[in-house]
Structure 1
Amino acid sequence: MAGLTDGKDQFAYFAEGNAKQARKRVAAKVLLRDEQGRVVLVNPTYKDFWDLPGGMVEGNEPPTIAAVREVREELGVQVQIGRLLVLDWEAPHGPWDDQLVFVFDGGVLGPEQIEALEVSDPEISEFEVVEIGDARRRLRPDMAKKLERAVAAAESGAFGYAEGAR
């Protein structure tokens, strides 16, 4: 950094470094449960498996804001995002670059809140509130593991991180 004495040179130096740094795809998922411990799943029209509510983070959007936005877009409700339960780095696969997947605690929804859920996004064909065992069977295997880890983290107060979990 020696020799960068004016703000313009320093800005250019930082901009060049920023342009060379990795860009990650980021997904923000939400664990929503009912009072019986069942979980909310959505059935995307563009995937072979069910999924947790949530989706892709937009450019320069905080993951928590993306999680709230995605749940509102998919299920028509405003949720309050709690703490981070799981953060996974997924290696590149198929046509996709690597990705960070955040799973946030969306809390326990009461009967009125469950009743208010409705599909409000054409990318979602349906949703269901299901037992954990049923959720495992519907989710892609790596998402089923994320769900198990998220539920365990929500119950224990722990946090989970994994690399290459796909």
Structure 2
Amino acid sequence: MTTRPQPGTAAWEAHLAEGNAKQARKRVSADVLFRDEAGRVLLVKPTYKEAWDLPGGMAEANESPQDAARRELSEELGLSAQLRGLLCVDWVAPHGPWDDQLAFIFDGGTLTAQETASLRPRDHELSACEFFSSDDALRQLPPRTRRRAAQALSVLTDQSTRYLENGEAIG
């Protein structure tokens, strides 16, 4: 019979590390909903996808979703944004070759005319960035992202953060 290591010992830390290594890992994405002064929504055109997307991207290991969003905005658009809070978090079921994922959308607020004028892709992952009316923006997005973005836009009106599963509000 194996005895459990005592807390605070090197053996205890090794025991915890072994458990941590065996636990499930989730992919995490962090996107941001920006508007311009006319209320239009900012979308980006990734070079590695066919459809438009919200600005943001995947979190790196041990990076918070909010920090991931800020890093991606800086790398891809040269934006240093003050995020205004969480609009929604969506659990996305496994699909295709991908495991499940947690997808966060943060409120980036309204960009000034000066910020929008200087907006352009800053790295090879984006080919374009453009503002669209809310309806047109939703039409540009693939279905999974469209559902999530529609929920995020609704939160702007009713101020009630949402938990989603596959883009549908739960509870």
Shorter-chain TM-score range: over 0.9
The answer on whether the counterparts of 2:151 and 2:167 sit within 8 Å (CA) in structure 1 is no
Structure 2 distance, partners of 1:29, 1:112, is 22
Structure 1 distance, partners of 2:8, 2:79, is 49
Q: Structure 2: which 5+ residue stretches go unaligned?
A: none
Query: Does residue 1:132 correspond to 2:134, yes or no?
Result: yes
SS of 1:155's equivalent in the other structure is helix
Query: Displacement, 1:64?
Result: 0.7
Runs of 4+, deviation exceeding 6 Å:
none
Identity of aligned residues (%): 49
Q: Scaled by the length of structure 1, what TM-score is found? A: 0.93
Q: Scaled by the length of structure 2, what TM-score is found? A: 0.91
Q: How many residues align?
A: 166
Superposed counterparts of 1:1-166, under 5 Å? 4=6, 6-165=8-167
The structure-2 alpha-carbon separation of the partners of 1:16 and 1:36, relative to structure 1 and needing over 3 Å to count, comes to same
The answer on whether the counterparts of 1:77 and 1:116 sit within 8 Å (CA) in structure 2 is no
Q: Structure 1: which 5+ residue stretches go unaligned?
A: none
SS of 1:74's equivalent in the other structure is helix
Q: Which one-letter code corresponds to 2:29 in the other structure?
A: A
Q: What do residues 17-71 of structure 1 show as CA deviations (whole Å, max 9, x unaligned)?
A: 1111110111000000112211000011111110000001011111111101111
Q: What do residues 102-152 of structure 1 show as CA deviations (whole Å, max 9, x unaligned)?
A: 100111111111112111111111011110111111100121111111111
